[in-house]
Structure 1
């Protein structure tokens, strides 16, 4: 078939049409592949949670001027020796590191002995810096309430790019470069604990010298130490009490040196330490600002402690239950103030734990809601202490509270090295006739030292004796309360502000505090204490000094001093002379305020009031009167105390008069 002859205009049109068709075909061939790739990439980004690290690593390569193969100069000359196959460390990183450098892996501790005058070096490679984060594990049910964590003074972060920093005139290219720079950084946490240190030859007043931590991010200084300080990311960091940490943003390999000093002539031995690097958080930690541990009371050989509340006042019942069911995430270490072995290890978890095995004290832990707010707390009962001695107490957490690093197969645990809180101190009692009791069945808020006689009663028998008597008295009270119209209309109730539930609660608090008095040493000179049973002999058969102001003839003739408030104490327990922390006067006022006037509760007036009840003081370091849940330095003068309305009346029976007046 013969094609028709085209005019010049038609020929030009046909050529243009053919060219356009070819362009469309080429465009579609290229663009369809591009669109398909973008869709696949978007799908991958949504499923792969590590794509941002790969992107950051790519940007890091760009910033460093490296190609994707990272083949520096095409050879490994000068980098011989660091050839071990390490999981997570590429052959390129191994090739670049100098000989004699150990690899650190994310959240995996490295333990090492080091002799005096030496430096040991590590590398936390870029593959680890921009690697996968470690699963944090179960962890605690919530952030600790009242917890104060202060990082080491050497902590430094490179500034983050904030939206406000982008000026309106900044062009897109500058913005892109700044974003790439930020994405190419990763926060790195480095921490170190000294677990063992040199020991002195004989008695010396000074502590062993501390290790020093060096950190470099420069390829030219892969072995930072006292003789190689160029390119350091921070000045050398001396350990404080066996602990140091540094937190910063890294863009590549991180080189670490741990250096030991030369020993003075009066010390022998070496150091054992733990060092770890992480992109998730500090492996070891020390909380500088608070002990988070509070002293409840002591006797001659034991002491009781509690943590601060583990949840806040608005926490849900479910969260409180989770804490109570968790177990005991904390532990406690106690050391005599004269123990010089802990000097230099005060901030190190592994150091304190190792020394605690030498101290050989028995620590019993349990959870409780006793005390302020009735919120979850952990309590510690320590036995094996010496009388009239001062101790340092350290709250500590094993691992991250639920998992310890060495307990998992690969050792990778976020925060697996444990942490230590600031030290607190406490002193045990001097007299053996005061004994700590707690965890009572009825008077469940009682937790302090009470008048005791260890030759007649052990702790369990003594607790049951006090608790059973208080519960029996309370049962008699309930019979009287049953005569009151508690469940009635508002207009028929005895008070619009209080009800029978308030009355029963306040009566129980008052009864337990009065029937189970808080005991202090008879030798104590604190002015707010009340001498009791001064005419009796001590447990060992000796008599009080007749020239003592606490055992003179006048006191012996005074009923409040010559006998105890509770007949059970003098006749059955027989503790001998002791001093009592009087119950707080607001406990008495509270039952007058909360209970029906028909019950005729009343509080004594002065001067009898001062002999029977004490006043709360403003100093949280002193418990000037006894109230349930009292803890040194945790409860202030008005914490846990409701409004008080002073009311006075007539006691309803002779037994109540004895209890109220003491």
Structure 2
């Protein structure tokens, strides 16, 4: 039998109808023989069936419950994912992210709770950043480009059962005295609680002590490293306040799988990080230790010198009570520093300590009669971001630094605030005077055959013109720019030489005779009734002050390094040496004579001579 020939349109229509019939047949063959309404589910399922349930009081949208207990009752599960991977903080517990501090207020007697979830614990590490210029290579560091970063061995989760978690906290503000307190101490410290137990998801003073670490804060700071296996629960508790205190706490809490977000370390006396260069009646100059030991030709050296000053310094009067209890907290010191009148100028320098890059701080608006505590701090990784004493407060000693010619000079010099209100103008005046005298010496040195290689024409077999020029410059800067100490400084310090005693103080008063250790003849001696250089009395006119004499070896070095034809010589003992030069004392922290580039540890017992 021959079928009629179909047109293309008829062929497509027939194919569509055939397909539809086949689909209807398949659908009927797969349909159940019985139907069931939703209301019949409870009658079909018996108690042996394991199925999820919803609380009876969930709303139509499935989003709200009547009480906190019901909120914890339902938790969805997905094939292949447990709660530790999905994560959801318990009710009333805040989640912490890696390297992200949580800043909260906390009232006395209350506890704030957090969780660092399992999924975050086993997440990816964060980039460490560039950090400070590279220090000398050690076993624990490796070079990465132009900076050094710690070596960290990171294993896959499959080969690990625990991961280090770094927890740290800083107190930013604390309760204050309300006028009724009889205590001289700070308010009580916060306490940090840490738990890894599911039975103790809100660690606090009321929780089971067997399931948690209890870590009281120390002066506003605490940190802890734990071997974590899953969710880590954290509590921060504020104690009840004793009588006389009011207000609450504010703090930063952070957790990290990379390293401590907050840290604190005490300055080591054998290798301090901060040095006092010098101070005057209202300011102080401090510098850090070297930030890199690389050679001047190294790119790290140049990057260190040109970098943004990484450190900052907080200076407080030692009698300031507001910082008590916050001394180890960067956040707390930063908050309290905002209310002080102290001003700090920061810059980079290579002066002193081997001429490597370091940071210097010019701290101003200090009180002459006060003692200050200084704290060196760094935020992030550095690259992302005289009462009762005549003349005691006369300001005739002033710190100068960053001189062009005498670049190693950084200390207090005789000054006159009325003639030189600007510190830089005073520094330039001294520097130009020294450079002028050096030029005359340089003309003479050019007459010496410095480039000769013949031993019979050299003026010395162990020294040359380079040594002579260096040592003469060091001596010249020290004697033309004397190091100044306040006239009110103790007369018991043998290494201080009184100067200008026949002159009046800037305010018009004159030194009392009993301040001259009963030696009236001092006002009649040339060495004590005038400055070392007449130029100082003529141009600066500082009035009475005391001088830290240059070290005697500066003079000896010039005699040893320069040609004998120059006729250099040093005074001898008993014939002017003691009035002109001082002797170095090997005791750390005591400045008994002056030489360019000298510094003392900031925590030295003799911070102001």
Compute the TM-score of the two structures, normalised by the length of structure 1.
0.72
Q: Deviations over 1:152-198 (max 9, x none)?
A: xxxxxxxx99xxxxxxxxxxxxxxxxx99971211110000000100
Preserved contact between residue 434 and residue 519 of structure 1 (Cα < 8 Å): yes
Structure 1 segment 449-598 matched on structure 2, within 5 A = 449-458=412-421, 459-491=423-455, 492-525=457-490, 526-550=493-517, 552-598=519-565
Corresponding position of 2:71: 80
Q: Deviations over 1:199-236 (max 9, x none)?
A: 011264121100000111111111111111344453x1
Corresponding position of 2:312: 331
Preserved contact between residue 282 and residue 368 of structure 2 (Cα < 8 Å): yes
SS of the residue 1:572 aligns to: helix
Alignment partner of 2:407 out of 405, 422, 444: 444
Structure 1 segment 291-310 matched on structure 2, within 5 A = 292-310=273-291
Preserved contact between residue 535 and residue 551 of structure 1 (Cα < 8 Å): no
Preserved contact between residue 394 and residue 506 of structure 2 (Cα < 8 Å): no
Corresponding position of 1:135: 127
C-alpha change, 1:436 and 1:144, in structure 2 (3 Å) is: farther
Q: Deviations over 1:234-280 (max 9, x none)?
A: 3x111111000001221111111101000112100000000000010
Corresponding position of 2:9: none
1:430 to partner: Cα distance? 4.2
1:377 to partner: Cα distance? 0.6
1:283 to partner: Cα distance? 0.3
1:576 to partner: Cα distance? 0.9
Corresponding position of 2:599: 631
C-alpha change, 1:485 and 1:267, in structure 2 (3 Å) is: same
C-alpha change, 1:395 and 1:635, in structure 2 (3 Å) is: closer
Structure 1 segment 82-481 matched on structure 2, within 5 A = 97-143=89-135, 183-202=160-179, 204-234=183-213, 236-290=214-268, 292-312=273-293, 317-403=298-384, 430-458=393-421, 459-481=423-445
Preserved contact between residue 124 and residue 254 of structure 1 (Cα < 8 Å): yes
Cα distance in 2, alignment partners of residues 618 and 73 from structure 1: 82
Cα distance in 1, alignment partners of residues 437 and 603 from structure 2: 28
Cα distance in 1, alignment partners of residues 561 and 358 from structure 2: 29
Cα distance in 1, alignment partners of residues 293 and 368 from structure 2: 36
Preserved contact between residue 342 and residue 352 of structure 1 (Cα < 8 Å): yes
Q: Deviations over 1:625-646 (max 9, x none)?
A: 001111122899xxxxxxxxxx
1:84 to partner: Cα distance? 13
Q: Deviations over 1:467-511 (max 9, x none)?
A: 111000000000111111100115132222221111101100000
Preserved contact between residue 431 and residue 522 of structure 1 (Cα < 8 Å): no
1:549 to partner: Cα distance? 2.8
Q: If each structure's helix is expressed as a fraction of its own residues, which one has the higher value? A: 1
Corresponding position of 2:44: none
Cα distance in 1, alignment partners of residues 459 and 54 from structure 2: 92
Cα distance in 2, alignment partners of residues 518 and 337 from structure 1: 26
Preserved contact between residue 87 and residue 119 of structure 2 (Cα < 8 Å): no
Corresponding position of 1:614: 582
Preserved contact between residue 144 and residue 310 of structure 1 (Cα < 8 Å): no
Cα distance in 2, alignment partners of residues 522 and 262 from structure 1: 51
1:141 to partner: Cα distance? 2.3
SS of the residue 1:382 aligns to: strand
Corresponding position of 1:57: none
Cα distance in 2, alignment partners of residues 454 and 243 from structure 1: 42
Corresponding position of 1:23: none
Preserved contact between residue 84 and residue 118 of structure 2 (Cα < 8 Å): no
1:74 to partner: Cα distance? 7.3
Preserved contact between residue 130 and residue 381 of structure 2 (Cα < 8 Å): no
1:316 to partner: Cα distance? 6.1
SS of the residue 2:508 aligns to: coil
Q: Superposition RMSD on alpha carbons, in Å?
A: 2.9
Cα distance in 1, alignment partners of residues 479 and 393 from structure 2: 24
C-alpha change, 1:316 and 1:256, in structure 2 (3 Å) is: farther
Cα distance in 2, alignment partners of residues 246 and 496 from structure 1: 62
Q: What is the number of residues matched between the two proteins? A: 507
User: Larger Rg: 1 or 2?
Assistant: 2
SS of the residue 2:587 aligns to: coil
Cα distance in 1, alignment partners of residues 593 and 383 from structure 2: 38
Q: Deviations over 1:531-575 (max 9, x none)?
A: 111111111101111233357332122211111111111112111
Compute the TM-score of the two structures, normalised by the length of structure 2.
0.78
